[in-house]
Amino acid sequence: MAIISNATTIADAGSFSVGLGDMTLIKTLDVSGGANATLVHGSSSVVFDGTYGVYIIKLINVHPVDDRADFTMNFTTDGTNFNVSKQTTAIEVYNWENDSTPAFAYRDLDLANSTGEQSIAYGCGSDNDECISSIIYVFNPSSTSYTKHFLIDTQFSEGQGINFRQPVQGYCNTTTAITGVRFKFASGNIDSGTFKLYGLKDS
Amino acid sequence: MGLISNGTTLLDAGAIDSGITQGSMTLINTLTASSSANLTFSSGITSAYKEYVFHLINIHPATDTADLFIKFRDGSTAYDATHNATVWRAYHGENNTSSALEYEASEDVSQGTSGQGIAYNIGNDNDQSTSGYFHLFNPASTVFHKHFLCRMQNSHGSDLALDNYVAGYCNVTAAIDGIQFVMDSGNIDSGTIKMYGVS
């Protein structure tokens, strides 16, 4: 059965023909006092496989317990061990609320085929109003042919009264499919924060 | 009444079934300039969404080499919320003689209230304009800084391709409830700005 309105097919054979938007919300995590935030395929209704070619992760108002802790990210191929080898670059750009000298530089927060944590926000403050927001793209994580590219753009309130942006990019240097990601602070818990995972249709 | 097609529930009680995947970006408002002094989103920025995205498309200045500014409103009628921002950019001349990657200390802002430049020295030749995106996170929060991330591409009045990266936060705990786009000189001759809520 089809639904046709004014010569436009609205639905046909159980699927919509009209556009419903191309960015699909897969999962929202609202973390409160957690040691980490994880998004792993097959766990808690998370999809992170070949269903979508591009995944976008949004971090909104992530607030640390510890002042100026390094906020990091890592990937998994087995859902348990977050230790994928990564090759990355890192940029820092910041200015001070007191208008002291700003900075724009390549930063030694990069990784060279390291399985360790990748810094995505180095030193967020723990004052009540300080937090992290970020946009992360992960491209074709299910590929078993290519390295898995990612783009990270993080904006946060550094703990010394600094407005801080930290762009990071790189790739997981593996041909094994990536099945999940984990976020955590180098010290202390995530006091609060929202993590949203989206898939891009037809990507 | 439900509407079922080929065994799949599509509509029920007037709503799309919750099992059907819907898009996460909702168009809230579209503003189109026509010799406009500003383009202002004075409503629609609420706690309904934790992220808002503005797409700016072919914003064309009336005055050559004008800068496009964004201003924030935090509860009053004035678009003067205190903010901080960093600015860096890359450019390349059409004549291939100039190119650079640089931090723009003259354009960044520390605790400013007069708005933030997001595209600089936009040319006003008929084919010149600026386009880009602006993300604003959780503007309704009354606890956190309101962070933003922006990237704008523009045709510089001196025939350069200019790539502007602007980011920062409104250093207020009051909710941000309005956004205004304005040139530092002259009107916005034409252009479209679309505001989306991201669920």
DSSP notation for A80-103: S-B---EEEEEEEEEEETT----E
Give the other-Cβ count within 10 Å of B77's Cβ. 8
- Residue B39 structure tokens: 């383009």
pTM (2 d.p.): 0.90
- pLDDT bracket for residue A111 (50, 70, 90): very high
How far, in Å, CA of B140 to CA of B146, rounded?
Answer: 8
Instruction: Decide if A1 is inside a domain.
Output: no
pLDDT at residue number A12: 72
Among the partner-chain residues B16, B108, B147, the one whose CB lies closest to the CB of A95 is B108
- Give the model confidence (pLDDT) of B142-152 as tens digits: 999 999 999 99
How far, in Å, CA of B178 to CA of B193, rounded?
Answer: 14
Instruction: Decide if A14 is inside a domain.
Output: no
How far, in Å, CA of A51 to CA of B129, rounded?
Answer: 37
Domain positions in chain B are 24-198
Q: Is B86's CB within 8 Å of A93's CB?
A: yes
Q: Which amino acid is at A152?
A: I
How far, in Å, CA of A129 to CA of B82, rounded?
Answer: 14
Instruction: Decide if A60 is inside a domain.
Output: yes
How far, in Å, CA of A168 to CA of A58, rounded?
Answer: 15
Asked if the C-beta of A165 comes within 8 angstroms of chain B's C-beta atoms, the answer is yes
Please tell me the total count of domains within chain A: 1
Instruction: Decide if A8 is inside a domain.
Output: no
- Give the model confidence (pLDDT) of A86-108 as tens digits: 999 999 999 999 999 999 999 99
Radius of gyration of chain B (CA): 19
Q: Is B110's CB within 8 Å of A98's CB?
A: yes
Among the partner-chain residues A21, A95, A98, the one whose CB lies closest to the CB of B86 is A95
Q: Is B169 left (phi over 0), alpha (psi -120 to 50) or beta?
A: beta
Answer whether residue A193 shows pLDDT above 90: yes
* Strand, helix or coil for residue B24: coil
How far, in Å, CA of B120 to CA of B133, rounded?
Answer: 15
Strand partners, A62: A132
CA angle B173, B177, B180 (to 5 degrees): 115
pLDDT at residue number A10: 60
Q: Is A95's CB within 8 Å of B85's CB?
A: yes
Sequence-distant (≥ 6) Cβ neighbours of residue A21 within 8 angstroms: A201, B22, B23, B24, B25, B26
- Residue A94 structure tokens: 């910041």
- pLDDT bracket for residue A9 (50, 70, 90): low
- Residue B120 structure tokens: 């600089």
Instruction: Decide if A15 is inside a domain.
Output: no
Closest alpha carbon within chain B to A98: B110
- Residue A104 structure tokens: 């724009």
Q: Which of residues 26-55 of A touch B (CB under 8 A)?
A: none
CATH 1.10.3720 fits B24-198, yes or no: no
Place of tokens 């916005």: B188
Q: Is the dihedral of CA B67, B82, B32, B167 positive or negative?
A: positive
From the centroid of its chain, how far is CA A111?
Answer: 17
**Looking at the predicted complex, does its ipTM rise above 0.90?**
no
Asked if the C-beta of A23 comes within 8 angstroms of chain B's C-beta atoms, the answer is yes
CA angle A127, A34, B141 (to 5 degrees): 45
Instruction: Decide if A64 is inside a domain.
Output: yes
Answer whether residue A141 shows pLDDT above 60: yes
Instruction: Say if CB B123 and CB B157 are below 8 A apart.
Output: yes
Q: Which of residues 101-120 of A touch B (CB under 8 A)?
A: 102-104
Suggest the residue from A165, A200, A202 to mutate for an interface test with chain B (most B CBs closer than 10 A). A165
The DSSP string of B42-95 is -S--STT-SEEEEEEEEEEESSTTEEEEEEEE-SSSS----EEEEEEEEEEETT
Q: Is the dihedral of CA B92, B96, B100, B106 positive or negative?
A: negative
Instruction: Decide if A7 is inside a domain.
Output: no
**CATH value at residue A184:** 2.60.120
pLDDT at residue number B106: 95
Contact list in B for residue A128 (CB cut-off 8 A) is 143-144
- Give the model confidence (pLDDT) of A27-51 as tens digits: 999 999 999 999 999 999 999 999 9
- Give the model confidence (pLDDT) of B134-183 as tens digits: 999 999 999 999 999 999 999 999 999 999 999 999 999 999 999 999 99
List of chain B residues with pLDDT < 50: none
- Residue B34 structure tokens: 């026509």
Answer whether residue A82 shows pLDDT above 80: yes
Q: Which domain holds residue A61?
A: 22-200
Closest CA to A162 of A189, A122, A120: A122
Instruction: Decide if A4 is inside a domain.
Output: no
Instruction: Say if CB A130 and CB A159 are below 8 A apart.
Output: yes
Answer whether residue A195 shows pLDDT above 80: yes
Asked if the C-beta of A186 comes within 8 angstroms of chain B's C-beta atoms, the answer is no
